[in-house]
Amino acid sequence: MIRTTRQLADGRDILYFDDDRDAPVRQARDTRDLPAVSTRSELRFDPLLGEWVVVAAHRQTRTFLPPADQCPLCPSRPGRPTEVPESDYQVVVFENRFPSLAIDVARDVAPTVPGNPLAELRPGFGRCEVVCFTSEHDRDFAELPPERARLVVDVWAERTAELSAVEGVQQVFCFENHGEEIGVTLSHPHGQIYAYPFVTPRVAAVLRSVQRHREATGGDLFADVLAAERSGPRVVATNEHWTAFVPAAARWPYELQLFPHRRVADLPALTGEERDAFVEVYLDVLGRFAHRFDTPMPYIASWNQAPAQAREDWWLHLQLFSLRRAPGKLKYLAGSESGMGAFITDTNPEDVAEQLRAVTW
């Protein structure tokens, strides 16, 4: 993999990633006249839930579902410069123009939220990056050739390693939102990476469960769950290094977890063989999601990587889930889910696994 670093007109970094086969020289300049990015995000602590909330009001003006001929993630062409100055690319990463978190965020914030001394206030420190998987506007990740999908995995790993080394970053989150029903605001095939200055609520909750299981049984919760699922009825796809299964207590109508068979903390720790094996299983299950109904399912692909302070307790895995429960019907997070955080699922996990195994295309 060859990485080329350039800067956009407003000073943001843009990184081109090419495989080693006849990689072009990346020298195109960003000719746009852009104002400097100014981020005033805040972190506000919810004392009742014990969780951080990011307040990023400046994102209200971000680009929203432009037509294909005005897509800012497509390569630049004469007379229409975009976020990517080159006329073509393989995989590209750049700092989000409308970030929720930023390294250079304004630091002049009060110690607490006005009127509530229990609600701690911090600058919205961190980093938000956009990852474009291909220059082709109408191609989904499920349609990428294996060698391009593998390049994306290598990019995720490279960015995870670099961002994890930034002082103050506690967790790196690589993810893809796919489909307008999910809330995607740009239809070009892309994902994002967040570098958080705190451990996210999901990871914190899982770590507490890991600790409780160790104290109660002396065992490794991740290993025990994986061993049980690999021999159970909910496996959808597997190979020598990975297993994709519907979790026993799936929250979403269609949900998979992809686990490597070897304990690793994060993406950089995967071997080349394990990365190839992941691509094989991942493209398989994405194809099943795309062909389960008459139209492709919207989905979120969510990498669960180790936080900075708990690497020895973690087991890397990917969540892939969709809120589509039937043709033309979505699962909404209504009263129980949104109000109380108590999920009520519309599908049976064993049935979902059987349905996904039966998908052909």
Q: In this model, does residue 346 exceed pLDDT 80?
A: yes
Q: Which CATH superfamily is domain 202-358 in?
A: HIT-like (3.30.428.10)
pLDDT for position 252: 97
Give the tens place of pLDDT for each residue, 240-275. 999 999 999 999 999 999 999 999 999 999 999 999
Q: Which of 34-38, 219-223, 309-313, 322-326 has the lowest mean pLDDT?
A: 34-38
Q: In this model, does residue 63 exceed pLDDT 80?
A: no
Q: In this model, does residue 21 exceed pLDDT 80?
A: no
Q: In this model, does residue 357 exceed pLDDT 80?
A: yes
Please give the biggest Cα pair distance in the chain: 65
Q: CA 254 to CA 285: how far, in whole Å?
A: 11
Q: In this model, does residue 58 exceed pLDDT 90?
A: no
Q: Are 299 and 320 in contact (CB under 8 A)?
A: yes
What residues contact residue 340 under an 8 Å CB cut-off, 6+ apart?
Answer: none
Give 50's DSSP letter: T
CA distances from 278 to 81, 250, 258, 270 (A): 35, 21, 8, 10
Same fold, 2-199 and 202-358: yes
Q: Are 321 and 304 in contact (CB under 8 A)?
A: no
pLDDT for position 353: 98
Q: Are 130 and 74 in contact (CB under 8 A)?
A: no
**Mean pLDDT across 50-64:** 80
**Mean pLDDT across 77-93:** 96
pLDDT for position 38: 76
Q: Give the number of other Cβ atoms within 10 Å of residue 107's Cβ.
A: 9
pLDDT for position 62: 64
Confidence of residue 106 (pLDDT cuts 50, 70, 90): confident
Q: CA 295 to CA 7: how far, in whole Å?
A: 39
Note if 190 is an active site residue: yes
Average pLDDT over the chain, rounded to whole? 95
Q: CA 196 to CA 43: how far, in whole Å?
A: 11
Catalytic residue among 58, 137, 188, 190: 190
Q: CA 120 to CA 116: how far, in whole Å?
A: 8
Q: In this model, does residue 43 exceed pLDDT 70?
A: yes
* Residues pairing with 150 in the sheet: none
Confidence of residue 290 (pLDDT cuts 50, 70, 90): very high
What residues contact residue 60 under an 8 Å CB cut-off, 6+ apart?
Answer: none
Give the tens place of pLDDT for each residue, 144-172. 999 999 999 999 999 999 999 999 999 99
Pairing of strands 112-113, 190-196: unpaired
**Mean pLDDT across 284-299:** 96
Q: CA 39 to CA 240: how far, in whole Å?
A: 45
Q: In this model, does residue 60 exceed pLDDT 70?
A: no
DSSP calls for 146-187: HHHHHHHHHHHHHHHHHHHTSTT--EEEEEEEESGGGT-S--
pLDDT for position 20: 83
Give 20's DSSP letter: S
Cβ-based burial of 162 (10 A; exposed 0-12, middle 13-18, buried ≥19)? middle
Stated pTM of the model: 0.96
- CATH 3.30.428.10, domain 2-199, yes or no: yes
Q: In this model, does residue 33 exceed pLDDT 80?
A: yes
Q: CA 136 to CA 190: how far, in whole Å?
A: 11
Q: CA 228 to CA 318: how far, in whole Å?
A: 17
Q: CA 98 to CA 83: how far, in whole Å?
A: 12
Domain ranges of the chain: 2-199, 202-358
Confidence of residue 40 (pLDDT cuts 50, 70, 90): confident
**104 by DSSP, 3-state: which?**
coil
